[in-house]
Every structure is written in structure tokens, then in C-alpha cells.
């Protein structure tokens, strides 16, 4: 297939491009820069110049492809609501190019949208459109398209990692360096799911090749890692004390990260493994985190 990939030069998107090419597909990757175009060409893909703001350009890319994988998302959490609204518009624009066809569109969401309350395991079968998380807009856009007959499926992401990047944990590392302590909230029993970036990319590959209309897939290799364990590895790697922050002080210490640091959001991927035949192979998140900190390559 000829597959149009947004976010094709990003952390996850570049791994998806690699998996697609290894799987024998032709990739058309969205990029706004010459450097991005060169990166795509070096990987064996073709470049489609454009941006998430250029909805007409996105539709042209979608029109020229047999399938679409939408990985791009602006992770500037200072304008999280605006970015989630932009994602809704992008998904809608991509989907309009597929009306009347069975060409697949695979979009990206978060595993937390499969859980109705803290501590409840998120599953692929669950979706709660009335959650306060603005990221729900991505899946609501997908629901609207599915009702119009568009072949949309969803890949939900945990904390995606390699030795350099670790999802939200990258921001915790920056915060630890700024504050001089590696912290967690309360007893640190909040759990965050995780997946190695190459394993995550293989879920996208399975979804675009064999995915079902309306299906939600969890790219979760580890169901839930305690935040106290994450903080301990960060503290050991940076030579900083590890401390507990009381819940009432979480906002002051963590800033915007507090809304995540306080949440217990474990997630299952049992259905994804069975349906796609997916078996994670990469190292665990704590191993990657410790390795990256020891080698001085971890972002943050």
C-alpha cells in the first residue's frame, strides 16, 4: 500500500515509517521542512510538504494514498486544549478524503480514554466520551467519521520510550533537574502504562494492515509502572534525593504535570495482542530510563 503518514519525522512517526517500509509499503510522509524531507528520503520514504494547519494539503495527501496513519500531535501542554481541538480538525479533514471508500485511517489517542475513573484498568472495549480529558476530541472525531462509513481505527498510546525519550517521564526528568529532587505524589502507587517505540510502531503496522473499522488498539507492553519506581530510577540516575510530595502540594511542585502525576491509569492490551498477534519485544521502560540516564543520552 501507499500510506500517508503525519508526524512522519517525529519520535513515534519515524519508527512507524521504518516498520511500514520494512513491511513492503510505500510511505508518503508529511513534513514542513527541507530537513524533514531529507530525513524521509534517507529512510526510503517520499515527502509531502505541508503542516497540520493546512487542511487542504492534508486532504491532498490523503487523496493520493491507499491508507493513512495519523501520528502527529503538538505536545505543547501549555496549550493542550487548543492542540486537542486542532487534532479533531485534522482527523475530520483526513476522514473526508476517505468517504465512500474502504481505505483505512488509523488515528492516535491515549490509553487513559479507556478508563472511566482513576485506578480502573483501561481496555480497548471502553470509551467514555464525557471524560474531562480534552484528548477525547480525537476519538469523538473518529466516532463521527465511522458513523459516516469511514474506515477508522484508533491506536491508543501509553508512555512511549527508548533510551532517549520517555513520554511524560521526559518532563519529570527536566523537573527533577530544576527542583533538585525526583518526586512522586503521595505513596507513589499511581501506575503508568508503557511501550517501547519500536513495539508501538508495530501496532500501527498491524492496525493499518489488518485493523477493523471502529477498533481501538492499545500499544501497551507494560500494564502499569508505579510512579515511585519511576522517580527512584530518575533520582539514582541524576544523583538526586527521591521524595514524596503530598497531594495538596502536587500542583505547586509539578505544575501542569500534576494532572498526570496524581492519576493511576493502568491499561490492558490483552485484546490487541490476541487480535493483531502482537508480542512486545523491546526493553522495559525502567531499563531504558536507567540506561539512558547512565549514558547521558536521555532527553530532559
Domain containing 243 — which CATH number? 3.90.25
Q: d(Cα 158, Cα 123) in Å, to the nearest integer?
A: 12
In the predicted model, is pLDDT for residue 145 greater than 80? yes
93: left (phi over 0), alpha (psi -120 to 50) or beta: alpha
Contacts of 39 (CB under 8 A, 6+ apart): 9, 14, 31
Q: Distance (Å, rounded) from C-alpha 141 to C-alpha 90?
A: 9
Query: Quick check: pTM over 0.85?
Result: yes
Give the range of the structural domain holding residue 250, as residue numbers without chain letter: 162-192+223-266+283-295
Residue 36 CB-half CA count within 13 A: 21
Residue 206 in any domain: the answer is yes
Report pLDDT for 115. 81
Mean pLDDT, residues 248-254 taken together: 97
Within-domain flag for 273? no
pLDDT digit string, tens, across residues 187-207: 999 999 999 999 999 999 999
Residues 55 and 137 in one domain: yes
- Tens of pLDDT, residue by residue over 18-56, are 999 999 999 999 999 999 999 999 999 999 999 999 999
What confidence tier does 131 reach under pLDDT thresholds 50, 70, 90?
low
Q: What is the pLDDT of residues 62-77, one digit of tens each?
A: 999 999 999 999 888 8
- pLDDT for res 259: 86
Looking only at the bridges linking them, the beta strands covering 105-110 and 152-157 are parallel
Mean pLDDT of the chain: 95
Mean pLDDT of 141-165: 97
Total domain count for the chain?
Answer: 2
Same domain for 20 and 151? yes
Q: What is the CATH number of the domain that holds 25?
A: 3.40.50.720
**CA pair distance 277, 253, nearest whole angstrom:** 42
The answer to whether residues 75 and 141 belong to one domain is yes
Q: What is the pLDDT of residue 130?
A: 67
Q: Is residue 39 part of a domain?
A: yes
State what percent of residues in the chain have pLDDT above 70: 98
pLDDT in tens, 256-269: 999 899 989 999 99
Question: Are residues 59 and 66 in contact, defined by beta-carbon separation less than 8 angstroms?
Answer: no
- Measured CA to CA, the distance from residue 239 to residue 144 in angstroms comes to 49
What pLDDT was estimated at residue 12?
Answer: 98
What average pLDDT does range 137-157 have in this prediction? 96
Amino acid at each position: 500500500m501507499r500510506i500517508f503518514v503525519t508526524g512522519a519525522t517525529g519520535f513515534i512517526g519515524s519508527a512507524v515509517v521504518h516498520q511500514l517500509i520494512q513491511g513492503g509499503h510505500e510511505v508518503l510522509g508529511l513534513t514542513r521542512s527541507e530537513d524533514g524531507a531529507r530525513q524521509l528520503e534517507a529512510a526510503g520514504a517520499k515527502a509531502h510538504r505541508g503542516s497540520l494547519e493546512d487542511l487542504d494539503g492534508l486532504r491532498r495527501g490523503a487523496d493520493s494514498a491507499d491508507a493513512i496513519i495519523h501520528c502527529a500531535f503538538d505536545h505543547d501542554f501549555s496549550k493542550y486544549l487548543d492542540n486537542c481541538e486542532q487534532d479533531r480538525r485534522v482527523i475530520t479533514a483526513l476522514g473526508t478524503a476517505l468517504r465512500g471508500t474502504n481505505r483505512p485511517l488509523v488515528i492516535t489517542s491515549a490509553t487513559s480514554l479507556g478508563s472511566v475513573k482513576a485506578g480502573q484498568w483501561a481496555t480497548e472495549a471502553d470509551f467514555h466520551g464525557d471524560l474531562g480529558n480534552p484528548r477525547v476530541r480525537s476519538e469523538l472525531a473518529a466516532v463521527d467519521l465511522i458513523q459516516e462509513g469511514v474506515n477508522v481505527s484508533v491506536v491508543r498510546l501509553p508512555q512511549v520510550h527508548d533510551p532517549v525519550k520517555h513520554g511524560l517521564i521526559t518532563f519529570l526528568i527536566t523537573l527533577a533537574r530544576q527542583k533538585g529532587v525526583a518526586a512522586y505524589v503521595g505513596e507513589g502507587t499511581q501506575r503508568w502504562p508503557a511501550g517501547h517505540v519500536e513495539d508501538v510502531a508495530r501496532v500501527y503496522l498491524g492496525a493499518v494492515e489488518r485493523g477493523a473499522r471502529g477498533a481501538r488498539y492499545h500499544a501497551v507492553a507494560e500494564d502499569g509502572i508505579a510512579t515511585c519506581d519511576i522517580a527512584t530510577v530518575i533520582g539514582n540516575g541524576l544523583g538526586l534525593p527521591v521524595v514524596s510530595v503530598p497531594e495538596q502540594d502536587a500542583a505547586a511542585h509539578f505544575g501542569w504535570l500534576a494532572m498526570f502525576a496524581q492519576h493511576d491509569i493502568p491499561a490492558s492490551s490483552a485484546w490487541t495482542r490476541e487480535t493483531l498477534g502482537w508480542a512486545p519485544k523491546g526493553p522495559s521502560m525502567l531499563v531504558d530510563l536507567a540506561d539512558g540516564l547512565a549514558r547521558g543520552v536521555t532527553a530532559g
